[in-house]
Amino acid sequence: MAFKYGAGLGSVGSYQVSGVPWITGSGGDGLPAGAEHKITFPSVAKSVLVMLDDPTTTEPIKVHFNPTGSGNVIGGKHFYPLTANRDAVSFGVKCKEIYISNSGSAASGYIVVAELTGISSNEMFTLTGSGLTD
pLDDT confidence bin for 11, thresholds 50/70/90: confident
Check residue 4 and give its pLDDT: 65
- DSSP character at residue 12: H
Please give the residue range of the domain that contains residue 65: 14-123
Q: What residues contact residue 74 under an 8 Å CB cut-off, 6+ apart?
A: 62, 68, 103
For the chain, what is the mean pLDDT?
Answer: 91
Strand, coil or helix: what is 13? helix
Work out whether the CA dihedral 21, 35, 63, 97 comes out positive or negative: negative
Q: Please name the residue ranges forming H helices in the chain.
A: 12-16
Residue at 63 is within a domain: yes
Between 7 and 132, whose confidence is greater? 132
Residue at 98 is within a domain: yes
The alpha-carbon radius of gyration of the chain (Å, integer) is 16
State how many domains the chain has.
1
pLDDT confidence bin for 8, thresholds 50/70/90: confident
49-70 confidence digits (pLDDT tens)? 999 998 888 889 999 999 999 8
Residue at 6 is within a domain: no
Name residue 65's amino acid.
F
Q: What percentage of residues in the chain have a pLDDT greater than 90?
A: 72
CATH number of the domain where residue 65 is located: 2.60.120.10
Residue at 40 is within a domain: yes
Residue at 78 is within a domain: yes
